[in-house]
Amino acid sequence: METQALSQIFPLFNTASPDTLNWIIEIATPETYHRDEVILTTDNWGKAAYFIVSGWVKLQYSSTERKITQTIVGRGDFFGEGAILEEYSENMEVVALSEVHLFTISAQRFIQALFQDSKLQHRLLQLMVKRLKILGSYRQLCQQPPVVRLVKILVFLAENYGEFQERGISIVQIPAIDLADITNIDVEETEKIIDNLQNNGWIEIDRDNHCLCLINIKQLINLSGKV
């Protein structure tokens, strides 16, 4: 990967110095995972930071009863950095929702990069604060009607990680149980809302390729109550 591509794909690196970018490319370890493959287990947090070049992953909490999806992220995002900066004890794991191409940077070298580049430090803090705000907005979804909750999540994922196509904005087809976890809606109602959105022509599902296309994004934004 070239330095220009690195800074374009990852907002974290768009203010980093050329020397930092070159060094990251040298030390990065590329990895590929298939759909449903576990990328990071509960026992391996804190050993490396992970950067998604392409694909989608879910972060899920392992409770005593089952695994509960907390959030979904895609191309240009990253995970694992928090456990490097502070001791991490939660039962979280990361699972691929599609084929995923990413690269890792070991904990020691990630810390070294932050010490060497103050702009990288500042950018990381900005993005971590943004992430906390997003998680806070997820919690506030409980105050909204179920259809609004679900549409807000779809619009958010499309705007932040989606791929623009002729038909609309394409995202990964997210299993109903994962959407139900994030939105705090039961699975049956989640499936019903998805069916209604599809029947109204606002989304289109390509099950063969595991994709969901937001066809009428303006209507969906209006439906979600976004200004």
Domains within the chain, CATH numbers bracketed = 3-139 (2.60.120.10), 144-224 (1.10.10.10)
Structure tokens at 13: 């690196």
Full-prediction pTM beyond 0.75? yes
CA 149 to each of CA 120, 133, 138, 159: distance values in angstroms, whole numbers, following the listed order: 34, 16, 9, 16
d(CA 54, CA 171): 12
Is the model's pLDDT at 227 over the cut of 70? no
The pLDDT tens digits for 112-159 are 999 999 999 999 999 999 888 887 777 777 778 999 999 999 999 999
Q: Which amino acid is at 17?
A: S
Neighbours of 224 (CB within 10 A): 18
Q: In this structure, are residues 91 and 61 in contact, taking their beta carbons and an 8 Å threshold?
A: yes
Q: In this structure, are residues 70 and 127 in contact, taking their beta carbons and an 8 Å threshold?
A: no
Q: In this structure, are residues 171 and 210 in contact, taking their beta carbons and an 8 Å threshold?
A: no
d(CA 81, CA 49): 5
Is the model's pLDDT at 193 over the cut of 90? yes
- Residue ranges of alpha helices (H) inside 93-216 are 107-116, 118-140, 146-161, 176-183, 187-199
Mean pLDDT of 78-96: 85
Alpha-carbon torsion, ordered 117, 118, 119, 125, to 10 deg:
120
The pLDDT tens digits for 195-224 are 999 999 999 999 999 999 999 888 898 887
What's the full length of the chain, in residues?
A: 227
